[in-house]
Structure 1
């Protein structure tokens, strides 16, 4: 049974690149996994989490989408089967699905989605992640905080101005109950967790926001943050606390 590590979702095209149309992959504790079957509401939720206005399910076998085989590779995890959403969820934990089994595990029925209408109201997607010192998705509530920027991939978050309110909003977006009570660390306090990319996101939240997309934000050239040492990072103590909602849902229903 997959142990989903966060709300991050992506679409991968025939070249293996992130795209607005492609194979649906959901972040799990064992890497990204595919989705075996989903409905229109799920397509809308996935695309809105990525910063688009709506989505559509691409019909047909994943092995022959516009002449390309987009199915997941053999041995790749299958994260969900029959994913069903209303289209308004803040993260995939609020949707319904079943544990993949049977033919789903062979990737013959992997889902492909196409997103439409890039959002002009938010500079970044609501997808966040915590990564460990090796750059892998963290399997705990500690790590370097990164945000998925539209068209630019994952970016570290600048620690300047990142207070308890921003940490609370980030933890909600990641699916945790609350922020840890200890002060937020910057990367220079945990050198092994420092990233290599220049932080391009600054979050200014009061903690009441349902997710970081509702926070005041600075992106790109608006951010004046020294590289590496000013990343938001918690390598040795948790950034967030409380049982992860996705883990709780899976363990209580499966």
Structure 2
């Protein structure tokens, strides 16, 4: 808390604090002591002063309410330091790897973890969980306690995510206070590993662009050395397209940034993923981004193929 540059003029001498999670008119609460009375903080000058709240509120919004000040007016500058709570965090439990398991969510009010009912649980809900955990897209939405029932209470039922939410807690759901869940009906997910995931960037549509692969926690490009239609075909199939129309070279879709993750790719064409293809992977690439590889994938529509006319 800080007042005017002059330590004797124009500063707040006393203030109280209100906090809220929503900023709605009826949601503001005063910071109170153990007896329920509003806490009054006193200042002796306008110098920068650290004030510690004796009670730590859970809030997204803070109000500073001056109660007394010097002179006819005052000046205030303040900073609030806090910490993030786990509310809404999710985790996967009892899975076969880090990308699968029973979905559990943390509720701050009860300071505990709980499970999610599998009733109406679908791929959109699973995708939201995988996105929140910064994993790849959901492969499977489990509804029959495949990863065990656990001994935690059910906190969410009939979750109805649209699939675009960043957190499971942002999705509509029914509280189990009003609707019970069968013990054999607990939700789980299987997410795709983000490692070695590929994407197309810079194209005019979603089936063409510069090839980028996720490795070492970063997206990087592919050098066009020996890049051909067989390599492009593996990329396209990995992305869900039937085949490749053309393998592009010379940064046709613009130069990328970051590392060049692969060079000298030599797919036979039968591989399921680009990472299964041989490449010059023991040494760092000598390619610049002026040689970033790209692809044009084929698209099936109503039994026929429509290809990008580039």
Give the TM interval when normalised to the shorter protein.
0.3 to 0.5
Question: Normalized against structure 2, the TM-score is what?
Answer: 0.40
Say which one has the larger Rg.
Answer: 2
Question: Normalized against structure 1, the TM-score is what?
Answer: 0.48
Q: Greater RCO between the two (CA within 8 Å, min separation 6)?
A: 1
- The structure richer in helix per residue is 1
